[in-house]
């Protein structure tokens, strides 16, 4: 691509934004779009050349498959066959929403999309503008998170511009994404189904609809089914250090150590509001709820790099509900 990346604020002129996006996508170009979870990097899922460009600009390993975003289950059937009953139930309950279903792929789906697997991941996002765009497009858009592979997912259009300025045609700006962590990926081609990635919908919510599911966590025999978990993820340049929940003394010790060593640091906590941690420039962020914590986590990790922090001290949260997805992202951001 030659030229600049255009950014359109979709709130101001949705119809024009959709027309411009469709024009780029139909020519095989790349368009970053908002979803309720994080921004996605869109390309026509049936256009192998366009999809290859997505892998290239992200620096993504070819063996890590992409999610196909569609507006309806009817369109999903262009990509997937024989949706099992539990998949149907989850789709009825959570689509559109922060859920991705891994299904048996149709033979016509480009191999580059599935990373050579015989399954395909399908998601209907719950973001009004993007749903409209998908309806008008009429087919599927691949949509990996719109970040360079390995760095924190984008929750603002400015994050996408930071990573891809001059490398993609268009960014559709709808402000900060609502949920802030990615969708829950569930493989329903096996029974019991397996959660391959924790995300915006909790295991409890899923089990309340289809009964017990498994979770392909570290060391789990089904982990190989989740290619994405093999790669380094979500990491800022700054070192991420996790402090156990409620360990005020430990946090104070680490803060003192940073000061002593002249390190630039920031702190993300949810239970130490009364601690009044003094950081340079007030870089201490409190989030009372898991929802707020998830919504702001990637933004803070990116901000830490913008502000040249050496260290991000993050307080762990309880691994319940959205807390499972938060801790998954924190652990992987903290991996050496």
Give 145 or 229: the residue with its C-beta nearer to Mg ion: 145
Alpha carbon distance 81, 152 (integer Å): 33
The stretch among 24-32, 138-146, 274-282, 328-336 that binds ligand TXA (CB under 6 A) is 138-146
Alpha carbon distance 249, 243 (integer Å): 10
Q: List the strands of the sheet with 239-243, edge to edge.
A: 239-243, 311-315, 265-269, 284-286
Binding mask 90-129 for Mg ion (x = CB under 5 A): ----------------------------------------
Please select the residue that binds Mg ion; options are 47, 114, 130, 145, rule is CB under 5 A. Answer: 145
Tell me how crowded residue 203 is: count the other CB atoms within 10 A of its CB. 18
Alpha carbon distance 134, 20 (integer Å): 13
| Residue 240 beta carbon to ligand TXA: minimum distance, rounded to whole angstroms | 19
Alpha carbon distance 70, 124 (integer Å): 5
B/e letters for 253-277, b = 16+ CB within 10 Å, e = fewer, are ebbeebeeeeebbbbbbbebeeeeb
Please select the residue that binds ligand TXA; options are 121, 267, 284, 294, rule is CB under 6 A. Answer: 121
| Residue 228 beta carbon to ligand TXA: minimum distance, rounded to whole angstroms | 2
The stretch among 20-28, 73-81, 117-125, 241-249 that binds ligand TXA (CB under 6 A) is 117-125
Binding mask 215-234 for ligand TXA (x = CB under 6 A): ----------xxxx------
Interacting positions 181-200 with ligand TXA (CB under 6 A): 182-183, 185, 196-197
Where are the alpha helices (H) located in 95-127, listed in sequence order? 111-114
Alpha carbon distance 208, 150 (integer Å): 33
Taken in order 122, 127, 158, 3, the sign of the CA dihedral is: positive
| Residue 261 beta carbon to ligand TXA: minimum distance, rounded to whole angstroms | 35
Where are the alpha helices (H) located in 173-247, listed in sequence order? 203-210
Q: Which residues bind Mg ion (CB under 5 A)?
A: 145
Q: Which residues bind ligand TXA (CB under 6 A)?
A: 35, 37-38, 40, 64-67, 100, 102, 114, 117, 119-121, 123, 125, 143-145, 182-183, 185, 196-197, 225-228
């Amino acid at each position: 691509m030659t030229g600049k990346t255009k950014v359109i604020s979709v709130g101001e002129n949705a119809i024009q934004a959709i027309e411009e996006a469709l024009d780029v996508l139909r020519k095989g170009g790349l368009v970053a779009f908002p979803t309720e979870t994080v921004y996605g990097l869109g390309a026509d899922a049936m256009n192998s050349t366009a999809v290859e460009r997505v892998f290239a600009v992200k620096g993504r390993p070819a063996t890590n498959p992409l999610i196909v975003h569609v507006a309806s289950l009817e369109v999903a059937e262009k990509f997937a066959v024989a949706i099992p009953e539990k998949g149907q139930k989850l789709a009825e309950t959570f689509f559109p929403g922060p859920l991705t279903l891994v299904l048996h792929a149709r033979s016509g789906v480009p191999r580059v999309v599935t990373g050579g697997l015989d399954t395909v991941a399908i998601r209907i996002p719950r973001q009004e503008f993007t749903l409209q765009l998908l309806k008008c497009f009429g087919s599927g858009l691949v949509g990996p998170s719109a970040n360079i592979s390995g760095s924190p997912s984008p929750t603002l259009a400015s994050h996408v511009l930071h990573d891809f300025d001059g490398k993609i045609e268009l960014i559709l700006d709808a402000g900060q994404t609502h949920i802030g962590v990615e969708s829950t990926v569930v493989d329903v081609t096996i029974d019991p189904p397996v959660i391959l990635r924790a995300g915006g919908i909790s295991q409890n919510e899923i089990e309340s609809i289809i009964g017990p599911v498994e979770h392909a966590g570290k060391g789990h025999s089904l982990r190989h089914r989740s290619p994405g978990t093999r790669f380094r993820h979500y990491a800022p340049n700054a070192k991420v250090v996790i402090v156990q929940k409620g360990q005020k003394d430990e946090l104070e010790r680490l803060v003192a150590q940073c000061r002593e060593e002249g390190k630039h640091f920031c702190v993300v906590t949810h239970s130490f509001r009364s601690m009044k941690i003094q950081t340079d420039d007030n870089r201490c962020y409190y989030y009372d709820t898991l929802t707020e914590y998830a919504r702001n986590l990637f933004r803070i990790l990116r901000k830490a790099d913008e502000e040249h922090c050496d260290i991000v001290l993050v307080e762990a949260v309880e691994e319940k509900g959205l807390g499972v997805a938060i801790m998954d992202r924190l652990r992987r951001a903290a991996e050496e």
